Amino acid sequence: MAKGPPPDPRRARRGTGTRPLPGEQKSALAKAPPVQAELAEARPPKDLPRAVRTVWSACVTEMAGNRHLRAPDLVLLKTYCEAVATHAAASSDVHKRGLLVENAFGPCVNPMVKVQKDAAVTIRQLSDVLGLNPLARIRAGILEIAGASMVMDIRERLLKQVEGVK
């Protein structure tokens, strides 16, 4: 047995019901606005280390492909890439010198371990904001679809009304 009140055919004809009219289907996925072409081809900043430029290119490609790359995101993306470079340099030092290093008082933890950890935290936080990890992509997709589908529904109803007036 179905829950809730039975469908009201008058509301369906007015377009205020929750169910589509016969022969019509609500789109499951709303289309996100396209990314500006110059952003999809954004070059990495000149001061970014050469080793991290591939990270920049991969992130720009990913974000443009998911249609959520905007001009203000490039500043955060640069910071993300710098954190990746910092993490790589700290990791390299830890691999080369080890976890324990000698100082005036004897062995102590390599200070680059803290730098490595801080960079990893920054990478994780910025990847959430930029939608560069699986959970962030799922969250962004769900929120984007919900908001965009409402907008698309309103747009479709307005277009039907405008076509009905002509």
pLDDT digits (tens, 9 = 90+) for 87-121: 999 999 999 999 999 888 899 999 999 999 999 99
Distance CA 4, CA 28 (A): 23
- Rounded to 5°, the CA angle 78-92-48 comes to 20
What count of residues does the chain have?
A: 166
71, 39 Cβ separation under 8 angstroms: yes
Tokens 């908001």 sit on residue: 147
Distance CA 131, CA 145 (A): 15
Q: Is the pLDDT of residue 29 over 50?
A: no
pTM attached to this predicted model: 0.63
99, 113 Cβ separation under 8 angstroms: yes
Q: Is the pLDDT of residue 12 over 50?
A: yes
Q: Phi then psi for 117, rounded to 5 degrees?
A: -65, -45
85, 72 Cβ separation under 8 angstroms: no
Number of CB atoms found within 10 A of residue 106's CB = 7
Q: Is the pLDDT of residue 3 over 80?
A: no
